Structure 1
Amino acid sequence: MKLEALWSQATATQRWGAVAFFLGVGLVAWWQWPSPSSAESEVVLRPGADGALVRSHEGTVPDGDLRLWGQGKTLSALGGGLPYAELRRMFDYFLSGLGEQGLAAIVARIDQEIQAQLPQTQAGAAKVLLRKYLAYKEALVALDKAPAAQGQGVEAIRQRFEGMLALRPRFFTPVENEAMFGFDDAYDRDAIARLEVHQNPTLSEAQKRERLAVLDAAMPAAVKAEREAPRQIINLENQVAALRAQGGTDAQVFALRAKALNPEAAQRLAVVDREEREWQTRIADYQRERQRVLQANANSSSGERDAALAQLQQSRFSPAEIPRLAAYEN
């Protein structure tokens, strides 16, 4: 969660307090895995392991797709590096299941994903990176308890941010630090600067607008693109809706999206469109059949009706899909 989101919340603990889920877990074992061999073989990245780790992950796709980073390239083509940013996203995705699943099981699952998606010579280094990341998360817990980091004001937020930056060299090399956290750090610096403007009682509204305009002009290109991305997607999908209303074909929609984004993104969105149409067709069929079941069991007991409906659901939907049906039954 970016710091910007804290501005509209009652508390500012979401970004900095999220690490509290490590409390009560005990010391995380940080052990050294064998160093990867210096000899690189021509290994192609493989698909990741399937299956949700916890109930809250059912129906979701793990963040940090290492295959996208490698695009099926061999180790020599990749230069032997690690997909640091993708690995961090993967770590955070699975660690969000802590509470539903024990830490040891989560670490084992991440190791499984690493082993499935990376060549052996990279997998060892990625597992070492995971242990370093866990130790870093533990250190953040202690940082969050520091007196100077308490409170929701901009000074407390800055103290937590600066403390976080100071911790990193204990766990990560400069390359790892920049690759894993560089973008978020730039985003958060900009967000803190904006928060300082908003919370400055000596500034008039006009002065605040002027200072925010200066920040806009100095905003790093990557941060600016991140901030504008949701608006661009909304505008694009509004154009898609208008095109479809005018009778536009799937090919025309694809061309519009490919021009605004890229062909790969347009293809992914086309898949989403198709899956949504298929889902809505299945829901319409289910609603008609559900009505028929209810009519056929009008004189049955509530238990018999519930059993008949449950049988209908199980015959047409997966366990992960069934909870979504409640939204279509009222």
Structure 2
Amino acid sequence: MKRRVGWRLGGLALALGLAALAWLRWPAGDDSAIAARAASAAPPASLRGTLPDGAVAADARGALRVDQELRRLFDYHLATLGERTLPQIRAALLRDLQTRLPAKPLAQAMNLFDRYVAYRQSLAGMTVAASADLSQRLARARAVRLQYFSAAEVAGLFGDEDRYDAFTAQRLAILADPSLSAAEKQRRIALLERQLPPELRAAREEPVKHLVLAEAEADLRKQGGGEQELYQLRASMVGQAAADRLSELDREQAAWGQRVNDFTRERAAILANGRLSAKQQQQAVAQLQAQRFSAQEALRLPGFVASH
């Protein structure tokens, strides 16, 4: 199965990579000829076995749709900088877009890509005082963007990232404020999180969702909650489908635990039988294990039996 390359490169890291090379003029000539030459070139090693990230499309009026999916596609190609020159990257992108866009949005996309590369190079050359905090650095980067893009293009390419960066800057400022108590910091951060757009809030919560759920389950059990209450808790936090899967997993684990307990008890009885020699005991235990567990299950068994 082909793997998918993660889209979000560090902005500063990519910019530094671009700045490490001298500015290369795009090759002169007809774009169709340039794309044809790119078609004959082998893909760089880092892209082999991957699917292009991002997407590109025209809107209802036939103009290029400028959004973060388009930026992801730009970054997918720019991730090969070092393996390919900037002109080679541009030619490969052009070839890719020619199969997806009519002439008008195609020209808009390539123009936007040229400005995106120039923006990245400008960002890499930007000097910011070491004492500047995150909010100051973000404000400087946003000012640079407006030198290369319209306000609508900035919103399309960087909207979600700007909102999350603003959240991060405010969160750090709250944590660093010595005048606030721990409880007040927690309250203000919780308020900030509620103000995030739903999709950004979900992305932020996803990595720790299972930890929050496990803590909530433990609290419920301490309070004497039963299976119905546990199911309702899970459904409210992760959805009904996930709650159903977790309930099924609970049943499977309980059944497995019972089988291990039964095996452990019968194994102990065999080993305690003084009428059997050591060899006979080993044979009886092996036969019991083969009767109760498949070969795959037997691979899991030693760790569970040792804990009983």
Common fold, TM-score beyond 0.5? yes
Aligned mates of 1:211, 1:32 — CA distance in 2 = 55
TM-score, normalization by structure 2? 0.57
Please report how far the alpha carbon of residue 19 of structure 1 lies from its aligned counterpart in structure 2 after TM superposition: 1.4
Matched, 1:139 2:122: yes
In the superposition, the TM-score normalised over structure 1's length comes to 0.54
1:206 aligns with 2:155: no
8 Å CA contact 1:22, 1:137 repeated in 2 = yes
- Per the alignment, residue 260 of structure 2 pairs with none
Instruction: Using CA pairs under 8 Å that are at least 6 residues apart, name the structure with larger relative contact order, 1 or 2.
Output: 1
Change (3 A) 1:205 1:53: farther
Pick from 164, 171, 174 the counterpart of residue 141 of structure 2: 164
Matches within 5 A, 1:94-109: 94-109=77-92
- Given that residues 25 and 87 in structure 2 are in contact (C-alpha distance below 8 angstroms), is that contact kept between their aligned partners in structure 1? no
Deviation string for 1:45-93 (max 9, x for gaps)?
Answer: xxxx999832222222111123xxx5xxxx6x72223232222110111
Partner residue, 2:64: 82
Aligned residue type for 1:195: L
Residue identity (%): 29
The one of 54, 62, 87 equivalent to 1:64 is 54
The reply to whether residue 123 of structure 1 matches residue 100 of structure 2 is no
| Structure 1 residue corresponding to 2:45, chosen from 52, 55, 58 | 55
Structure 1 runs of 4+ off > 4 angstroms? 30-34, 49-52, 229-247
Q: Which amino acid aligns with 2:166?
A: R
Aligned counterpart in structure 2 of residue 92 of structure 1, from 67, 75, 80: 75
| Deviation (angstroms), 1:164 | 0.9
Cα separation, 2, equivalents of 1:118 and 1:108: 15
Query: Where do 5+ consecutive residues of structure 2 fail to align?
Result: 1-7, 31-38, 212-237, 253-308
- Which digits, 9 at most, give the CA deviation of each residue in 1:175-195, with x for residues without a partner? 211111111111111111112
Q: Is residue 2:204 matched to residue 1:227?
A: yes
Which of 172, 176, 180 is the matching residue for 2:157?
A: 180
Kept in 2: contact 1:31–1:131 (CA 8 A) = no
1:1-330 matches, within 5 Å, as 14-29=10-25, 53-66=43-56, 70=57, 78-84=60-66, 85-143=68-126, 146-148=127-129, 150=130, 155-229=132-206, 235=238, 240=245, 243=248
Q: Residue 25 of structure 1 contacts residue 103 of structure 1 at CA under 8 Å; is this kept in 2? A: no
Distance 2:91 2:200 in 1: 34
Distance apart, 1:205 and its partner CA:
1.9
CA RMSD of aligned residues (A): 3.7
In structure 2, do the counterparts of structure 1 residues 30 and 99 end up closer, same or farther at CA, with 3 Å as the change threshold? closer
SS of 1:78 mapped into structure 2: coil
Unaligned runs of 5+ in 1: 6-12, 35-48, 248-330
Q: How many equivalent residue pairs?
A: 208
Q: Secondary structure at the match of 1:101?
A: coil
SS of aligned partner of 1:117:
coil
Letter in 2 for 1:79: R
Secondary structure, aligned partner of 2:49: coil
